[in-house]
Structure formats: C-alpha cells, structure tokens
Amino acid sequence: GAVVSQHPSWVICKSGTSVKIECRSLDFQATTMFWYRQFPKQSLMLMATSNEGSKATYEQGVEKDKFLINHASLTLSTLTVTSAHPEDSSFYICSARDTGTRTKEEQFFGPGTRLTVL
C-alpha cells in the first residue's frame, strides 16, 4: 500500500508557542489530505480537508486561525498549531487520498504526531 509519513512523531512544547506538523505522501500524489485529532480514549475527529493549491475546508468548531493548514505541493501538507495551549495536547493524524485512485481504499493514514503542550 501507499505510504504516508508524519514529522515529528512526537513533540513537547511550551504553552504559547507554535508547532508545525508535516504530512507527506511518499510514493503517490495527493491533491487532498485530511487532518484528524484524537484525544485519549476517543475516536478520530476530522479537523479539516486540505486541498493542494487552495484553502483548506475546516469542520464546524475548528478554529482556522489557530490550526493553519498549508498544502503547497502534491506530496506535502502542514498543520501549524498556533499559540498552543495544554488543551491542544492530542494525537494528530493525517491521511492522504491517492489522486490516481489506483487502489480501492483511497485514503492512507500517517502514523500520527503526539503533541504535548506544557
């Protein structure tokens, strides 16, 4: 199957700082990537849909000015958590859709990034 990577795999930062998380599709092009957040013992919640070359579409209740998404190329999307606070501590997961749809599952998930804000 296709591979999606995330960097970093974990990060600890101080409250008030910004953190950037990268999501890369390694062996396929992805015009669409998705960003999810998962709190402990809870399910994945979709935060936003990232489209290459255009603005991201945010889910209801997700602050677009706090969670900045950039999808500048067909293999890279970034999520920047601005002015992070302890309540932003979570497991952030991206997924990418294979533009060529050569596989049935369509979306491939990254391994996740665990963010801890002190």
Residue numbers of the site for other proteins (CB under 8 A)?
Answer: 1, 4, 6, 32, 34, 36, 43-46, 49, 91, 93, 95, 97, 104-112, 114
Burial of 74 (0-12, 13-18, 19+ CB in 10 A): middle
CB of 10 or CB of 16, closer to other proteins: 10
CB of 29 or CB of 82, closer to other proteins: 29
Pairing of strands 113-117, 76-81: unpaired
Residue type, 110: G
**1 token code pair:** 């199957």
Instruction: Provide, rounded to whole angstroms, the least separation between the CB of residue 68 and other proteins.
Output: 20
Residue type, 78: T
Provide CB contacts within 8 A for 45, sequence distance 6+.
36, 37, 38, 59
CB of 11 or CB of 44, closer to other proteins: 44
CB of 28 or CB of 34, closer to other proteins: 34
Instruction: Provide, rounded to whole angstroms, the least separation between the CB of residue 38 and other proteins.
Output: 9
Instruction: Provide, rounded to whole angstroms, the least separation between the CB of residue 43 and other proteins.
Output: 5
